[in-house]
Structure 1
Amino acid sequence: MTIPLQIAAKGISDSSPTITDYSYNEAWEAIPKAKKDGYNVILEPYPFIANGTIAETDWNPSDINQWFIVWGNHLKELAAKCEQNNVDGIYIASNLVHLEDYTDKWKTLIADVRKVYNGKILYRTNYWATADWAPETIVAYNKKLNNPIFGIVDIIAIGAYFELTDNRNPTVDQLIDAIYSVPLYGRGQNIFKEIKAFNDKWNKPILFGELGIPPYSNSPEQPHNAFGELGEYNESIQANWFEAWIRVFQAQDWWQGYSVYAISDEKSVYNIIGKEAESIIRGQTLGGKENTFTYLISTLKHLEKRIEALESK
């Protein structure tokens, strides 16, 4: 069970984020209950920027040194409390695109966290796109792949909002084909191969830290887009999306499953409760074995959302 804890920033350039008191209290109320019920628990310090109006992928602090000092202090405090409460894992970052290249600073932060915490350390990187006709995208991917940060964490997590196809009603098989060779803009990106390369290089398990898509016809082209023109409503798109990713990755012993985005938030276009995708997710199996589903309920009241985590065993 992944439990988020809100860390708030005033704006896109804020270098001194703060832990939100109510979220802190709710997280540490939920964690002992989850542990008592027999769940493995991951704590996720979750960026909340400008009251949720700015995505964490856009966060670009003006003072990098100050940000790492403040963020690091928060992480060390939370990690020490995780150790005291037998929390199984902690995220050190989630989709912080503009901060990923500061490898030496992440190494120092991770070393400091390990001094007070013996559980699993997770780092979540954002999705990417590559195309043979755009060599700069290949360079960017290889730079990401070779970032030493992935070798010093315990689990590599990915925000899996990969852009697949402009097909407005793709079947499961068409989505599977797209994962192996993205037809969108003629990219030909082999997403499976590129994700597997992280395990090949770093020998670390891989978790889809977020997997989700709105049930609309434009979403297979931009699954990360919750605004603008979404197209026609179509629940089969969302259901097929989850089925396709499972079929592609289920046999890989290095794949740890995925966290569902989002659950039971009626205001979110990603919500899967009451839709076709819900039955698909509940009925999925990996490698012929039963799944163990663990559920994540976000207590971030300002976000008004809930997230459910699925861990496959």
Structure 2
Amino acid sequence: MFKVLSVHLTSHKLKYIALVSLMISAILVKEVLIDVVYIGKQYEKNRIITPWGEKIKSGNLSVDYSLEQALIDIEALGLNTVNVPVQIDIPSLTANSATINTESKKKATQLIKKLRYQGINVILEPYPYIKNGELYETQLNPDDKDEWFRNWKEGVLKPLIQDIAKPYKVYALCIGSNFDKFEKEYALWNDVANFVRTNYQGRITYKTNWWYTAEWDTEKNGLHDTYTAKLNNPVLEKVDFISVAAYFELTDQDTNTVENLVSSIYSTKIFSRHQNIYEELKKLSTQWNKPIFFGELGFPKRNKAMVHPWNPEPSTILNEQEQANGFQAYKEVFEKESWNLGLSVFAIGKNDEFKNYYPSDQSINVINSWYK
């Protein structure tokens, strides 16, 4: 009798446990569905659809951004996407190692969680931080390329895919940024792109640095070869869109009108190069049948900002309007081009006396007017 009662009670317990498990599962499924619907609605809300297609309106966060300032800037600039960096520590310009900074990764994850619920898209970028930020990735040239690429794939991209890109469904992953010195390692970069495609089903991009050409150039000088190499870079066939860090040198003047800058985009004035930046970007897009995205578009708030846009302090003279004129010129030339996917403003997320690229009030007004 006791054995029968024991079995009977156990049966009831099992049914009860099964019922509770079913209820918990139903609640979890409901929460996931609500989450998906909410995020979907927010994404639809923040998409920018124009007569020329969908556009990305993004901002690059400084590596030392704060969560609070980032959210303020996203709202102020009317962004639908944010380029979120994860600091990658590299000890020297010839080092073969690359290590994810734990605190930077943690901060990026915190921010991305917040952005998901606001419907803001994320471009995830492993950001090369060389010798504590003292040196530039454009000068990085590892001694052992095979070893560096192995570390980049296994030690950087793979963990970022597994821990951030996949679980938080980022809009795109940038597989490399401004590595001028070894961009021509085509086979190794193709291997990186194939590795990412195998492990990640989302969008991928590669960010190439600005270049210059000159009508008086000869093959011996080698200036034109930089652009030719980009046109023939097979990794660009493997990405969903081509990112360009657009620090093109436009003029040799301290200050410029918008009209002068627009003219200079079609024919640069500096050193009488007469580089047609518009046509070269369009040709790059046509070559690979991929849209061009200004993965970094920024100008220092200084005189001579259009002489050397890549220099955070080309002059000691503050000039916020010169910065705004740069954004306005690019807007007038590229906003309506269907092959141009959009822009990412460099740089937001922290504003102090050292942040010469942080957009001025005049620039914020211009940036807000894009795609309106």
Secondary structure of the residue that 1:156 maps to in structure 2? Answer: strand
8 Å CA contact 1:164, 1:175 repeated in 2: yes
Q: Which has the higher contact order (CA 8 A, sep 6+)?
A: 2
8 Å CA contact 2:88, 2:101 repeated in 1: yes
Q: Which position in structure 2 is the counterpart of 1:194?
A: 280
Q: Determine whether 1:31 maps to 2:117.
A: no
Q: Determine whether 1:107 maps to 2:194.
A: no
Secondary structure of the residue that 1:84 maps to in structure 2? Answer: coil
Greater CA radius of gyration, 1 or 2? 2
Q: How does 1:126-275 map to 2 (within 5 A)?
A: 126-135=209-218, 136-227=222-313, 230-263=315-348, 264-266=350-352, 267-273=354-360, 275=361
Q: Which position in structure 1 is the counterpart of 2:171?
A: 88
Task: Please tell me the root mean square deviation across aligned C-alpha atoms, in Å.
Answer: 1.3
8 Å CA contact 1:132, 1:138 repeated in 2: no
Q: Which moved more, 1:5-14 or 1:213-222?
A: 213-222
8 Å CA contact 1:218, 1:231 repeated in 2: no
> Per-residue deviation at 1:56?
1.0
Q: Which moved more, 1:116-125 or 1:256-265?
A: 256-265
Q: Structure 2 CA distance, aligned partners of 1:63 and 1:129?
A: 28
> Per-residue deviation at 1:32?
2.2
Q: Structure 1 CA distance, aligned partners of 2:134 and 2:370?
A: 36
TM-score by length of 2: 0.74
AA matched with 2:340: W
AA matched with 2:215: D
8 Å CA contact 1:83, 1:116 repeated in 2: no
Secondary structure of the residue that 2:121 maps to in structure 1? Answer: coil
Which of 8, 11, 19 is 2:100 aligned to?
A: 19
> Per-residue deviation at 1:85?
2.3
> Per-residue deviation at 1:277?
1.2
> Per-residue deviation at 1:123?
0.3
Q: Per-residue displacement from partner, 1:151-198 (whole Å, max 9, x unpaired)? A: 111110000000000122210010000000001111010000000111
Q: Which position in structure 2 is the counterpart of 1:298?
A: none
Structure 1 gaps of 5+ residues are 291-313
Q: Per-residue displacement from partner, 1:37-71 (whole Å, max 9, x unpaired)? A: 21222111100001110011111111111100000
User: Residues 106 and 272 (structure 1 numbering): CA distance in 2 closer, same or farther, change over 3 Å?
Assistant: same
Q: How does 1:33-72 map to 2 (within 5 A)?
A: 33-72=114-153
> Per-residue deviation at 1:285?
3.0
Secondary structure of the residue that 1:5 maps to in structure 2? Answer: strand
> Per-residue deviation at 1:201?
0.8
Q: Which position in structure 2 is the counterpart of 1:123?
A: 206
AA matched with 1:206: I
Q: Structure 2 CA distance, aligned partners of 1:20 and 1:232?
A: 35
8 Å CA contact 2:193, 2:235 repeated in 1: no
AA matched with 1:78: L
Q: Structure 1 CA distance, aligned partners of 2:312 and 2:370?
A: 29
Q: Structure 2 CA distance, aligned partners of 1:36 and 1:231?
A: 41
> Per-residue deviation at 1:231?
4.7
AA matched with 1:102: E
Q: Structure 2 CA distance, aligned partners of 1:218 and 1:62?
A: 36
Q: Which moved more, 1:141-150 or 1:258-267?
A: 258-267
Q: Structure 1 CA distance, aligned partners of 2:292 and 2:319?
A: 30
Q: Per-residue displacement from partner, 1:193-234 (whole Å, max 9, x unpaired)? A: 00011111111111111111112222211011124x515322
Q: Structure 1 CA distance, aligned partners of 2:186 and 2:327?
A: 33
TM-score by length of 1: 0.87
Number of aligned residue pairs: give it.
284
Q: Structure 1 CA distance, aligned partners of 2:316 and 2:110?
A: 41
8 Å CA contact 1:170, 1:237 repeated in 2: yes
Q: Structure 1 CA distance, aligned partners of 2:316 and 2:114?
A: 41
8 Å CA contact 1:127, 1:162 repeated in 2: yes
Structure 2 gaps of 5+ residues are 1-81
